[in-house]
Amino acid sequence: MAVISGISDQDLIVGALAGNGEAFGVLVERYERAVYNLCLRMLRNVEDAKDATQEAFLKAYRALRTFKLGARFSTWILTIAYNASCDRLAKRKHDSGVELPERADQRPGPAEEIEREDEARALRRAIDTLPEKYRAVITLYHLQGLQYDDIALILGLPMGTVKTHLFRGKELLRQRLSSESEDDGVCNMVLA
């Protein structure tokens, strides 16, 4: 895959449509992490997120002929992932209560690193308590780094609604984080 890894998404899609499975594999490699992170934030369960990620790429592969060349593949695949996550959430009878996994590297480090990890955990917990509509926008904007127009396309919302959800989600996070800790460091970490 190293030979075609420098090719644009558009060229990879054309290749995949022509029957080059390796081309679609490169697209999967490029976007798997972003798709998984979105699914994990939405579903709050590692196994469900893995399943939703796989389902999103399978749906994308099957629907590749419907992709409009010239559009951004990242927006398209994240829309599919978001919808796959929403479908899974709708099928759940109740919240599983499973927390997000901790960092893989749990070795103790300097005091600053431990403090940052505590802040990150508090932030993850606070994000997990947000209503789905705010959690999705916060995840896409702050954690995925997407712009308002891309978020609006992915979630199928008007731009003004995206901005409102982002503002209200940040406010809820500020409230929850300030009630958890008197230190505003966590709030300032992402919500600035």
Q: Is residue 36 situated within a structural domain? A: yes
Contact yes or no for 152/162 (Cβ under 8 A): yes
Q: 180 - beta bridge partners?
A: none
Of 60, 90, 120, at which residue does a domain stop?
Answer: 90
Indicate whether 64 and 118 sit together in one domain.
no
What are the mean pLDDT values of the chain's consecutive 10-residue runs (192 residues total)?
69 92 93 94 91 94 91 93 88 52 44 67 82 89 87 92 92 82 48 51
Determine the pLDDT at residue 102.
44
Q: Is residue 95 situated within a structural domain? A: no
Indicate whether 127 and 77 sit together in one domain.
no
CATH of the domain at 187: 1.10.10.10
Determine the pLDDT at residue 30.
95
Q: 71 - beta bridge partners?
A: 69
Q: Is residue 102 situated within a structural domain? A: no
* Alpha carbon distance 85, 79 (integer Å): 10
Contact yes or no for 149/163 (Cβ under 8 A): no
40, two tokens: 């994990």
Indicate whether 142 and 85 sit together in one domain.
no
C-alpha atoms less than 13 angstroms from C-alpha of 170 in its C-beta half-sphere: 15
pLDDT digits (tens, 9 = 90+) for 96-108: 454 434 434 444 4
Determine the pLDDT at residue 34.
94
Range of the domain at 82: 1-90
Indicate whether 2 and 76 sit together in one domain.
yes
Of 90, 121, 144, at which residue does a domain stop?
Answer: 90
Indicate whether 144 and 183 sit together in one domain.
yes
CATH of the domain at 62: 1.10.1740.10
Q: Is residue 99 situated within a structural domain? A: no
Contact yes or no for 76/60 (Cβ under 8 A): yes
DSSP codes of every residue in 64-130: GGG--BTB-HHHHHHHHHHHHHHHHHHH-SS---PPPPPPS------HHHHHHHHHHHHHHHHHHHS
Of 23, 55, 90, at which residue does a domain stop?
Answer: 90
Indicate whether 46 and 73 sit together in one domain.
yes
Q: Is residue 74 situated within a structural domain? A: yes
Q: Does pTM surpass 0.75?
A: no
pLDDT digits (tens, 9 = 90+) for 43-69: 888 999 999 999 999 999 999 999 998
Q: For the chain, how many structural domains are there in total?
A: 2
* Alpha carbon distance 31, 126 (integer Å): 26
Determine the pLDDT at residue 143.
80
User: 192: exposed, middle or buried (C-beta count within 10 Å: 0-12, 13-18, 19+)?
Assistant: exposed
Q: Is residue 41 situated within a structural domain? A: yes
* Alpha carbon distance 38, 65 (integer Å): 24
